[in-house]
Amino acid sequence: MTSEIRKTVGYDDLRGYLKLLEDQGMLKRVSTEVDWDEEIGGIAYRSLVKDGPGLWFENVKDYPGMPFVANVMYREDQLGVALNGDPNWESLRDIIQDGMQNRLKSTEVPTGPVKDVKILGEDVDLDIFPTPKWHELDGGRYISTTAGFVTRDPKNGNLNMGQYRSMILDKNTTTVEIMGNWEVGADAPLGSGYGGIGDRNGAAHILDNEKNGLPTPCAIVLGMDPLLTLSAGTAIPADENGYMEYEAAGAWAGRPVDLVKCETNDLMVPANAEIILEGEVVPFERVNDGPHGESTGFYNQCPLSFMVKITAITHRSNPVSFGLTCGRIEDYPRPLMRSNTLLNTLVSKSGYTNIKEVFFPDAGRSGFLIIRAQITAVEQPKQIIDAAYEHMRYRWVIVVDEDCDVRDWNDVLWRIVSSVTPEDHMWIGAEYPEAIPFPGTVEFIPPTHGMGIDATFGFKKYNHPLPPIAKPSMDLMARVASRWKEYGLS
What phi, psi does 415 have (nearest 5°)?
-70, -40
**Fold classified for 334-459:** UbiD C-terminal domain-like (3.40.1670)
Alpha-carbon distances of 409 from 406, 412, 434, rounded to whole Å: 7, 5, 29
Share of the chain above pLDDT 70, in %: 96
Interval 295-329: pLDDT, tens: 878 899 999 999 999 999 999 999 999 999 988 78
Domain ranges of the chain: 3-322, 334-459
Residue 136 has pLDDT above 80, yes or no: yes
pLDDT single digits (tens) 197-245? 445 689 999 999 999 999 999 999 999 999 999 999 988 888 889 999 9
Categorize the per-residue pLDDT at 479 as very low, low, confident or very high, splitting at 50, 70 and 90. confident
- The whole-number pLDDT of residue 243 equals 92
Reply yes or no on whether the pLDDT at 473 is more than 70.
yes
Provide the β-strand partners of residue 287.
305
In terms of average pLDDT, the best of 229-238, 274-283, 344-353 is: 274-283
Give me the mean pLDDT over the 335-362 stretch: 89
Closest CA to 253 of 222, 221, 231: 231
Assess contact for 223 and 275: CB atoms under 8 A.
yes
CA 113 to CA 258: how far, in whole Å? 11
Q: What is the mean pLDDT of residues 148-152?
A: 97
The residue length of the chain stands at 490
Question: Cβ contacts of residue 366 below 8 Å, gap of 6+?
Answer: 193, 194, 296, 393, 394, 446
Contacts of 91 (CB under 8 A, 6+ apart): 80, 85, 481, 482
Per-residue pLDDT, 387: 96
Weakest-pLDDT range from 24-38, 246-260, 363-377: 363-377
| Topology given in CATH for the domain delimited by 3-322 | Pnp Oxidase; Chain A (2.30.110)
Strand 275-293, strand 299-315: pairing: antiparallel
pLDDT confidence bin for 364, thresholds 50/70/90: low
Determine the pLDDT at residue 471: 77
To the nearest whole number, what is the mean pLDDT of the chain? 91
Q: How confident is the model at residue 5 (pLDDT cuts 50, 70, 90)?
A: low
pLDDT tens track for 159-205 = 999 999 999 999 999 999 998 899 999 998 765 444 444 456 899 99
